[in-house]
Amino acid sequence: MTKKKSILNDQDYKRIITRIAYEIIEKHKGIKNLALVGIQTRGDFLAKRLAEQIAAIEGTTPPVGSMDINMYRDDWTKISHQPTVRPSNIPFSVDDKEIILVDDVLFTGRTIRAAMEALMDFGRPARIELAILVDRGHRELPIQADYQGIFADTEPDDMIHVHVLEQDKEDCVYRELRFS
């Protein structure tokens, strides 16, 4: 049996994106040498929104790329015998750049480990940071976000569903609680 609980609505999204944009600008003292790379699918949309918000504040848009990490996952054979692989699009050199990986949910840390490995195939960044919308805990690897929207206290079997307007026709996040 499951029960759904709303965590974020569209106004929450706007506030979180704005806050994270300011945090990035403050920490980096501007956006010189900065680039965003979204982890497909929803992290890609969130990275573009962050870049737009940063541009609104700074007057300049940082470079934005997107990356498919499916072939770098350590569990891809458990997910599907033929995983869907989409093209990555990083139209700039990552060498010596300060890269912010952007994703929707941080759970075990395995997706981020795969993303860092995939990013290294594009070059050698000066630094890699992580921005996420929802941190749900339950790490299996020593990975944490540098920029976090919210922390959602979950059980390991719960699901966090992130919807973005560009993909799902609405901005919202809900928690699906599973119990017997």
Q: What pLDDT is attached to residue 77? A: 53
Has residue 120 got a pLDDT over 60? yes
Q: Which domains does the chain have, with CATH numbers?
A: 3-72+88-177 (3.40.50.2020)
Q: Note if the pTM is more than 0.85.
A: yes
Q: What pLDDT is attached to residue 44? A: 97
Q: Taking residues 112-140, report their average pLDDT.
A: 97
Q: Please, what is the average pLDDT of the chain?
A: 93
- For residues 128 and 102, the answer to whether their CB atoms sit within 8 Å is no
pLDDT per position as a tens digit, 149-164: 999 999 999 999 999 9
pLDDT: which is higher, 124 or 84: 124
Query: How much of the chain, in percent, has pLDDT values that exceed 70?
Result: 93
pLDDT per position as a tens digit, 59-86: 999 999 999 998 886 665 555 566 677 8
Strand-pair category, 127-135 with 98-106:
parallel
Q: What angle do CA 20, 50, 138 make, to 5 degrees?
A: 55
DSSP 81: S
d(CA 165, CA 52): 15
Lowest mean pLDDT among 31-40, 69-78, 110-119, 130-139: 69-78
Q: What backbone phi and psi angles, to 5 degrees, belong to 178?
A: -110, 130
Q: What pLDDT is attached to residue 128? A: 98
